[in-house]
Structure 1
Amino acid sequence: MNLQDIPSLAPTQFELPLPTRTPGESFKEPAADGFLLGGFTWRHTHQDPTRPVVIINAATSVRCRHYSRFADYLFANGFDVITYDYRGIGESRPASLKGLEATWSDWGALDFEAMLQRAQRVFAGQPINVVGHSFGGCAAGLGASGHLIRRLVTVGAQFAYWRDYAPAHRWRMFAKWHVVMPLMTTLCGYFPGKRLGWLEDTPAGVVRDWSTPSDRYEKRPSGRLIHARTGRLPFANVSAQTLAISLSDDPYGTIPAIERLLGYLTGSTNTHLRITPEDIGEEEVGHFAFFRSAYQATLWPIALSWLQTGELAPDTPGRRMPRN
C-alpha cells in the first residue's frame, strides 16, 4: 500500500507548514530517565533576576523550529527563551522510532519537567513563563514542578477528544487521526507522518494516547499511569495566571475542547479568549498559523502582553468567554 494513495485524507489547510529557519544556541538536556533532549536557547548576555524566561511547548509531532520566529520576537521584547523537542521528535529523535517508549505523559512528566529544571538551573532566580501550543498546553500541566510556572499562555490547547472536533470536520478528522494513524502505526511500528506529509514521524505510544477516544485525560493509556502513581493528576500543581487563546476556525481548538483542558487547571486563574479571523482582518487562521510571522502585528502582542503583565490590553481583539 502506498501511503500517498489516501486522497480523502490528504493534507489540508490545517496541516503544518515547513519548519522555519534555524534558531539560537543549541543544547542537550537529559530527562530524569536519562533520555537526551535537544533544543535551543535565546539568552541575553547579562543575567537579570527580574527577566522572565519562556519555555515553549510544541504541539504534538511539531518540531520546535516551527516556533523560532516567535522565540525571536519574545527575545527582542526582553525575554530569555527555551524551545525544545519532545523525545522522538526533531532534535530529540533517535536513529529509529521503532521500539521507542514515548507517550504524551512522558512528554509532559519527563520532557517538559526537564525544561523546568533546566530553566531553574540556567536562569537561576528568574521567573518562568510557558507558552503551550495544542498538546503543549496539556504538557504544561503534567510536570511535577508546575508550581514554578508564573504565567501560562496556551494556543488551541486540548488533548484531542474526537467529539470536541468541529462538527464540519469531525468525521474526516476521526478517520484520519483515530483510524488511519493507529493503523499505520501498527504496520510500521511508529507513525510515518513525514511520508504522509501530515506531521513529523511519531512514536507509537503517543499515537495510542492521541487515538484513544476518551473525554478524560486520565483515561488515556499513559494518563492512567500518572494517575495511579500519584493519586491525582499533576495539573493541580499549576497555579499560573493562564490565558487560553482559541481561534474560531480551529477545528481542534473548539470551545468545548479548550474548556475541557482548562477544567483540569483547578489551581490557576484562567481566562479564555476567543478570536475570529475577522477580528484581526483575516479570512482564516486555523490551528497552526498563530506562530507564523504574518501574525506578529496582530496575534503575537496578545501573548506578549499576558507574559509581561498577566493582563489583556483594552484593545485586545476577540471576546472573553464566560467561565462556568
Structure 2
Amino acid sequence: MSSISSQPCLSPTATRAEPFTERAADGFALGGFAWRHADTGRTRAVVIINAATSVRCRHYSRFADYLFDHGLDVITYDYRGIGESRPATLRGLNASWTDWGALDFEAMLQRAARDYPGQPIDVVAHSFGGCAVGLAASGQLIRRVVTVGAQFAYWRDYAPDTRWKMFGKWHLIMPLLTSLYGYFPGKRLGWLEDTPAGVVRDWSTPTARYEKRPSGRKLAALPFSRVKAQILAVSLTDDPFGTVAAIERLLAYFSASARTHLRLAPEDIDESEVGHFAFFRSQYQEKLWPIALNWLQKGELMAGTPGKIGIVAVHGDNSSLTSL
C-alpha cells in the first residue's frame, strides 16, 4: 500500500497561495491556504480541497497550483488536529470524522460563500474527504465534486489480498496505540500525521454504516441528501482502500446527486501503480489531473478518458450503479 509519508511536504509559500485562519462554528481555529485571482468573476469557480484522513493540506499544493493555473480559485485547509490546524497537544482534543465534515468543511463552505460571492463552489475530495462532503449542513451550495478513492474505511471493503494486514494495522494497532498515547502517533511511525483519538474511534469501528460510527451515532440525521452536485468518483484498481464496494458504499449516501464512477487501472495510463495517494503527485499532471479539471470546468468526462464508467441515475430514493 502506498504511504503518504514518502511524499514531500510542499510549502505553499513557494506558490501563489496566501495563508488564512477560519474559525468553525464552535470557535476552533482552522488554518489553510487560498489561491485567488486578482480579477473576480462570477463564472470562475472556487474549489475547496478536502484532504484524506490525517494528510496535511500541503500535500495538495501542486494540484492546487494546477487548478489555479487553469483559471480556478482554490482553498486548501487542514482539519482540526492536523497540520495548520493542530493545537499544542492532541491529548484531550475532542475531534471526530463528523467534526471534520460538519464543522471544519462546513466552515470552508461558509468562507467560500462569504468571500467569493456569486462564484460556483466545487470540491475535490480525497479518501475520507469525500465523506466529509456529505456531512456539512450547507452541502446544497456545492455545484460539482470530484472524489478520489473516497470511502469511510469499512474493513470488509478492503482489497482481499491485503484485507487482514490492513485490519491489523488500522483496526488493531492504531486504536491500541491511541489508547496508550491519547492520540495516534502516526507521524513517528511514518504512517500518517498524528491523529485525534475521536477520528481513530470512527475509523477503527468495524461497521458498514457511517451512522453507526461513534460520531455518526450522535447525528439526528445525515445531511448527505442536501448535496445535489454532479459527482465524479475516481477510483484505482490498485487502491486497497478504494475498491468498487467501498466507492459504491459511499456514493449510495448521495441520493440526490447524479453520480459517475470512473474506475481506472494503472495500465490504462501506462503506469505500473498509482494506489491510494499518488493521484495528487505532480507526475500525474498530464495523465490524471485533466480528468478532474474537465469535470470541474464542464461537468463531464473528456472524450477518450481512460478507464471504465458506471453511472448512478437519480430516481427519488432508488438508484443503481451500472456494472463497470
Question: TM over 0.5, yes or no?
Answer: yes
Aligned-partner Cα distance in 1 for 2:309–2:148? 14
Aligned-partner Cα distance in 1 for 2:202–2:60? 24
Aligned-partner Cα distance in 2 for 1:260–1:61? 21
Q: Counterpart amino acid of 2:49?
A: I
Query: Match of 2:315?
Result: none
Query: Match of 1:294?
Result: 283
Q: Are 1:59 and 1:132, in contact at CA under 8 Å, matched by a contact in 2?
A: yes
* Offset from partner CA, 1:121-163 (integer Å, 9 cap, x none): 1111100000000000000111000000000000000000000
* Offset from partner CA, 1:61-95 (integer Å, 9 cap, x none): 00000000000000000000000000000000000
Q: Which moved more, 1:134-143 or 1:17-26?
A: 17-26
Determine which of 179, 189, 193 is the counterpart of 1:196: 189
Aligned-partner Cα distance in 2 for 1:22–1:223? 34
- 1:221 aligned counterpart, secondary structure: coil
Query: Match of 1:58?
Result: 51
- Between the aligned residues of both structures, percent identity stands at 72
Runs (5+) with no aligned partner, structure 2: 313-319
Structure 1 residue 205 corresponds to structure 2 residue 194? no
Q: Which moved more, 1:19-28 or 1:115-124?
A: 19-28
Q: Counterpart amino acid of 1:17?
A: S
Query: Match of 1:158?
Result: 151
* Offset from partner CA, 1:153-208 (integer Å, 9 cap, x none): 00000000000000000000000000000000000000000011100000000000
Deviation at 1:20, TM superposition (A): 3.6
CA RMSD of aligned residues (A): 0.9
Aligned-partner Cα distance in 1 for 2:278–2:99? 26
TM-score, normalising length from structure 2?
A: 0.94
Q: How does 1:86-97 map to 2 (within 5 A)?
A: 86-97=79-90
Query: Match of 1:49?
Result: 42
Query: Match of 2:239?
Result: 250
Determine which of 252, 262, 266 is the counterpart of 2:255: 266
Query: Match of 1:134?
Result: 127
Q: 1:322 to 1:29 in 2, by over 3 A?
A: closer
Aligned length, in residue pairs: 309
Aligned-partner Cα distance in 2 for 1:241–1:322? 11
Determine which of 22, 32, 38 is the counterpart of 1:29: 22
Structure 1 residue 125 corresponds to structure 2 residue 114? no
Runs (5+) with no aligned partner, structure 1: 1-11
Deviation at 1:322, TM superposition (A): 5.3
Structure 1 residue 277 corresponds to structure 2 residue 266? yes
Q: Counterpart amino acid of 2:135?
A: L
TM-score, normalising length from structure 1?
A: 0.94
- 1:321 aligned counterpart, secondary structure: strand
- 1:142 aligned counterpart, secondary structure: coil
Query: Match of 1:4?
Result: none
Deviation at 1:321, TM superposition (A): 2.4
Aligned-partner Cα distance in 1 for 2:2–2:74? 29
Deviation at 1:17, TM superposition (A): 2.7
